[in-house]
């Protein structure tokens, strides 16, 4: 499985990133994978390799590149519940600095980079994200409706907020198919209903599913939140979504 560390030119500097793609040459549909709040680390690279093994060029950018290359903050090998408050105290300023304007500038750069790679097939791409990355996936898809055909978000954060540009208010711009896999505590029933109604009103093909018995962060094997059944369900939903929306020609 070829993998590479690389630098992506953006309007604000060089973003370090990780990419994985299938053996054997050729061109493959691209998937932009947005990290969770803890950042690019071995567990995300493993997930990128897993996805690449199904026939995709997977790009995992360090969204905190304006502050430092990954790993931006020191993390334990396993993130236990007792470590989360101190880690979040360090990463929250990074999250807050990653404004919508920065998200959209970065998305432009990431999609431009993907279009230029010899291993990437022409045609639409998929975008998937975890935790805060789910909201970034939606923002990327609404800003680039002609390029993004699939959006997936797992244990999402910041999808339904009071802000005028909350992601759920942008869904009329979506042309992608959407799947959202929620932990049981990710959205209130009211917020979930508001999001579902917005997607319905926009005519977006979508599914919103609560994964039974999960808590926020369930896909991440290096945390106490990890749930093997939740991760398996994530692959069972993500892979068919990408298969039916992304061309392999």
Tens digit of each residue's pLDDT (9 = 90 or more) over 116-142: 999 999 999 999 999 999 999 999 999
Structure confidence at residue 248 (pLDDT): 65
Q: Write down how long the chain is.
A: 249
Tens digit of each residue's pLDDT (9 = 90 or more) over 62-94: 999 999 999 999 999 999 999 999 999 999 999
- What are the φ/ψ torsions at residue 59 (nearest 5 degrees)? -115, 125
Surface-to-core class of residue 239, CB atoms within 10 Å of its CB (0-12 exposed, 13-18 middle, 19+ buried): middle
Q: What is the token pair recorded at 214?
A: 């999960």
The runs of H, that is alpha helices, within the chain are: 42-52, 84-97, 100-116, 132-143, 189-201, 228-245
Structure confidence at residue 208 (pLDDT): 98
Q: What is the token pair recorded at 77?
A: 């090998």
Confidence of residue 191 (pLDDT cuts 50, 70, 90): very high
User: Is the pLDDT reported for residue 155 higher than 90?
Assistant: yes
User: Is the pLDDT reported for residue 177 higher than 70?
Assistant: yes
Q: How far apart are CA 161 and CA 12, in angstroms?
A: 27
Structure confidence at residue 247 (pLDDT): 76
Closest CA to 84 of 47, 45, 46, 36: 36
Confidence of residue 249 (pLDDT cuts 50, 70, 90): low
């Amino acid at each position: 499985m070829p993998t590479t560390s690389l630098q992506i030119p953006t309007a604000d500097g060089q973003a370090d990133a990780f990419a994985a793609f299938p053996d054997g040459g050729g061109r493959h549909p691209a998937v932009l994978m947005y990290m969770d709040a803890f950042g690019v680390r071995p567990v995300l690279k493993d997930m990128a390799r897993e996805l690449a093994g199904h026939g995709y060029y997977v790009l995992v950018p360090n969204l905190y590149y304006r502050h430092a290359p990954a790993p931006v903050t020191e993390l334990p090998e396993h993130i236990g519940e007792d470590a989360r408050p101190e880690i979040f105290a360090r990463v929250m300023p990074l999250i807050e600095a990653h404004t919508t304007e920065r998200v959209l500038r970065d998305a432009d750069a990431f999609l431009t980079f993907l279009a230029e790679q010899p291993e990437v097939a022409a045609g639409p791409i998929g975008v998937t994200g975890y935790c805060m990355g789910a909201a970034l996936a939606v923002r990327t898809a609404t800003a680039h409706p002609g390029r993004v055909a699939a959006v997936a978000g797992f244990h999402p954060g910041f999808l339904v907020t009071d802000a005028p540009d909350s992601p759920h208010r942008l869904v009329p711009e979506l042309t992608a198919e959407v799947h959202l896999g929620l932990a049981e505590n990710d959205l209130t029933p009211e917020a979930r209903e508001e999001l579902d109604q917005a997607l319905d009103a926009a005519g977006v093909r979508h599914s919103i599913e609560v994964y039974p018995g999960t808590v926020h962060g369930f896909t991440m094997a290096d945390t106490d939140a990890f749930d093997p059944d939740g991760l398996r369900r994530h692959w069972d939903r993500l892979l068919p979504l990408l298969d039916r929306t992304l061309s392999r020609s």
